[in-house]
Amino acid sequence: MHDTPAATGAPDVLVPWAGLDTRHGPWPEGIRVHVWDGGGDGPGLPQEALDRVGFWVLPYAVPGAEALLPRLPGLRAAQSLSAGVEKLLPLLPEGVSLHNGRGLHDASTAEHALGLILAAQRDLPRWVADQHAGRWEPHFTRSLADCRVAIVGHGSIGAALERRLLACEAEVVRVARRARPEEDVHPVAALPELLPGVDVVVLVLPENPGTVGLLGAAELAALPDGALVVNVGRGRTLDTEALLAETGNGRLRAALDVTDPEPLPAAHPLRSAPGVLITPHVAGGSDAFRPHAERLVVDQVRRYASGEPLANLFARG
Ligand SMILES: NC(=O)c1ccc[n+]([C@@H]2O[C@H](COP(=O)([O-])OP(=O)(O)OC[C@H]3O[C@@H](n4cnc5c(N)ncnc54)[C@H](OP(=O)(O)O)[C@@H]3O)[C@@H](O)[C@H]2O)c1
């Protein structure tokens, strides 16, 4: 338990959506809830009201919204609706706790990862091109069934992806930072032995000092010919130059929702690399997100109002 908001003089809450109380029941007594969706030059509240904001739920995927942080002197907790908070972390004022959106994107991101894998295995980009070109030239394709898929970053999203892959009759190899033998999770240090035996490797990693460039030239070289590299975590965890070398000669294929850099410039060589399928960082953004996010926001506001610890603590400033 922490001090109740009223006791700290920061009883107000700022959330990104109006009508949450209509949909999920009245707000708790003793707090005032303001709404800012990230538009305009700020929430349009007088500084006196901003001074009282103790808990802020940042608008989702609104670049620059964090510029409000210095105007919230009473802030005690910030809630991001993203699972990856590496950009917000260095901006966190001292004494403010940061809570992430772990769990909110599981269904959406896992579904997108599965879609990328299926599209690549079943040659969907080829069939779309043929559709538009007026061609009818069927051939046999790879499949997902019977493939061995390594999920590197077997966390919340990785577990959701595993459930979907198993339904497609694939075999899953779990990899995380540290070994968890009781859950058959391999440590990331075992990748050199694991990679030669997989058909697909899926990165679902956060960006942190240990994950940048984690799949580089040596790891890609360890994959068998024709393997598929999928990234739905963060672009910088995969070495773009090394991937370009391995896809340029057709040895490996890739399906990427996240890239390094982002946005990917119009003339970037990844766009025209053979066997590379790209989506513009959209895995987490689907209709599956909002209901989960609203539930988390109202639960967090209730916890804040009652002085209970907030869920999904990522770091303390
Ligand atoms: N493309 C999109 O739209 C989209 C949407 C949502 C999320 N994401 C990305 O997906 C990431 C994962 O989300 P999540 O909710 O599944 O996170 P999570 O539950 O925290 O899982 C993260 C996984 O990464 C592993 N990991 C972390 N640091 C590592 C390191 N240095 N070396 C090796 N493994 C490491 C963890 O291993 P341990 O369990 O051993 O610590 C864990 O298995 C997010 O951080 C975000 O960047 C992308």
Q: What is the DSSP letter of 215?
A: B
User: Given this model, what pLDDT does residue 317 score?
Assistant: 82
| Amino acid 10: pLDDT | 78
pLDDT tens, residue by residue, 16-69: 999 999 999 999 998 999 999 999 989 999 999 999 999 999 999 999 999 999
pTM across the whole model: 0.93
- Please give the distance, rounded to the nearest whole angstrom, from the Cα atom of residue 205 to the centre of ligand 1: 4
Phi-psi category of residue 219: left, alpha or beta, with phi > 0 → left and psi -120 to 50 → alpha: alpha
Count the neighbouring beta carbons within 10 Å of the beta carbon of residue 267: 7
Q: Judge whether 295 and 25 are in contact, CB under 8 Å.
A: no
Q: Which residues are catalytic?
A: 234, 281
To test the ligand 1 pocket, which listed residue (89, 99, 177, 231) has its Cβ within 8 A of the most ligand atoms?
A: 177
Given a contact cutoff of 8 angstroms between Cβ atoms, the answer to whether 85 and 314 are in contact is yes
**Whether the bond into 261 is cis, omega within 30 of 0:** yes
Quick one: angle between helices 106-121 and 124-133, nearest 10?
A: 60
Q: Minimal CA–CA distance to 176: which of 198, 203, 199, 149? A: 203
Token digits of residue 234: 């963060």
Q: Which of 87, 89, 109, 260 to mutate to test the pocket of ligand 1 (most atoms within 8 A of CB)?
A: 109
DSSP-derived 3-state class of residue 64: coil
**Ligand 1 interacting residues, C-beta cut-off 6 A:** 83-84, 102, 105, 109, 153-158, 176-178, 188, 204-206, 208, 210-211, 232-234, 257-258, 281, 283-284
Mean pLDDT of the 208-221 span = 98
Q: Which residue has the tokens 């959330």?
A: 15
In this predicted structure, the answer to whether residue 171 has a pLDDT above a threshold of 90 is yes
Exposed, middle or buried, 225 (CB in 10 Å: 0-12/13-18/19+)?
exposed
Cα 303 from Cα 126, distance rounded (Å)? 50
pLDDT of residue 1: 60
Residue 30 pLDDT: 87
Instruction: Identify the three-state secondary structure at position 156.
Output: helix
Confidence (pLDDT) at 306: 93
Contact 259, 282 (CB under 8 A): no
pLDDT (0 to 100) of residue 84: 93
What is the overall mean pLDDT for the chain?
96
Sign of the Cα torsion 234, 240, 246, 248 reads positive
- 75: CA distance to ligand 1 center in Å? 27
Q: What is the pLDDT of residue 177?
A: 98
What span, in angstroms and rounded, lies between the C-alpha atoms of 1 and 13? Answer: 18
pLDDT in tens, 59-76: 999 999 999 999 999 999
Q: Burial of 131 by CB count in 10 Å (0-12 exposed, 13-18 middle, 19+ buried)?
A: exposed
CA-nearest residue, atom 24 of ligand 1: 153
